[in-house]
Structures are given as structure tokens and as C-alpha cells.
Amino acid sequence: MIQAPTQKRAVIYCRVSTDDQNCERQLHDLRAFAKRSKYKVVGIFQETASGAKSDRIERAKVLKLAQSREIEAILVTELTRWGRSTIDLLQTLEQLNKWNVSVIAQTGSQFDLSSAQGKMIAGMLSVLSQFERDLISERTKSGLRAAVARGTKLGRQPGQNPSDKYANKVLQHLTAGRPYRWIGRELQISPTTVMAIVKRNKKSKAKMRHLVAR
């Protein structure tokens, strides 16, 4: 007797970005897709969250099911419903691959990283992820350079360290050629504290020069 193939267990994941939207269309389409593709739907997860929002509670539940090997596939209408970014998409696909779980888009694209198609897609996503990281890094550096140009002080600011209240006097005495021990006695602080203040000042200046130069 030939045994019928076991249906793959899947969950449906739907997401909309704003409260004035709903998941009805996605849910309707994915139920029909699951039926056509012979998936056994064992759970439906819906949530409202913007594409960049990190605390997706329902998606986290799906990942827990995948990790515990309770499902083999996640059904979505399109990848943008699942991934917050290219980097996030690749990271979660790699996680799911370890658990032998695929993300299946309604378009028919199957993101199983153990397959030839999945490996090819992972390679392209990896390139896009690096490009996205570079863009974020460049924007951050550009913002820091602009902040420095406006006179904004970066890093730990005076007053955040208890000994910073002595910083101006320490640097003044140092400029005048006073030795660390003399400065310590004059200000009634230890030579180690004097050295720490000087070190922080040098590090802060070096950081600013580095950011402006890049």
C-alpha cells in the first residue's frame, strides 16, 4: 500500500503597517494558497507593525515554533511582510535554515537555503545586506561629521565622569608645564586621576580628528 505524502506543517503570517489597515486580504489569499499547495496550516499570526519596527510579537512567536521544529514552512504574501530589512531578512532566513524551515511567498518563491535556488538568493541577499550596511555606516559618519562641523561635542561629555569637574584646571596646569604629581597636590586629587583626565582628553580629540578626516 502506497502511503500518501505527509503534508508540511505551515503557519500563515500576515502583517499590515498601520491601524487603519487589516490583514483580511492577505489571510484570504494565503489560505487559498495553502490549500492549493497542500500545506497543513497549524497556526495563523497577524499583527500591525511598521516595516522597520523591531518588536514584532507575533513574528517572534512564529520563530519560536520554527525553533522547536513544530513547523516546516512560513507562508507570506510577499517578503516585505516578513523581513524588516534586507539584513534582517537574510539573518532570519539563515536562522530558519538551521531549523529546516522555509519562508514561502505567495508568488511561489521558496526561500529554502538548502536548495540551489535558495543558495543563489542568499548570495544576492548577502551582497544587498552589505550594501545596506555600508549605506547606514556612511549616513552615520556623514551625520557625525555634520554634528562636529556644527560644534556638537561627541562622546562622553564633561560632567558625566566625576573627575571631569577638574578637567579644565588639569589641562590648564598641564599646558603651563606642571607635572602630574604637582597638579594632583594642587587640586587634591591623585596623579592617577590626573592621568585619566589627560587620557580622556587625548582620546576625545583623536576621535574628532578621525571623524572629520574621513
- The answer to whether residues 142 and 133 touch, using CB atoms and an 8 Å cutoff, is no
Count CB neighbours of 74 within 10 A.
Answer: 25
- The alpha carbon of 13 is separated from its chain's Cα centroid by a whole number of angstroms, namely 21
Check: CB of residue 193 under 8 Å from CB of residue 163: yes
Q: How far apart are CA 86 and CA 129, in angstroms?
A: 5
Q: Are 47 and 15 in contact (CB under 8 A)?
A: yes
Q: DSSP secondary structure string, 108-127? A: S-EE-TTSHHHHHHHHHHHH
Per-residue HEC secondary structure of 145-184 comes to HHHHHCCCCCCCCCCCCHHHHHHHHHHHHHHCCCCHHHHH
Give the catalytic positions in this structure.
17
CA distances for 98 relative to 17, 48, 53, 63, 102, angstroms: 29, 28, 24, 12, 10
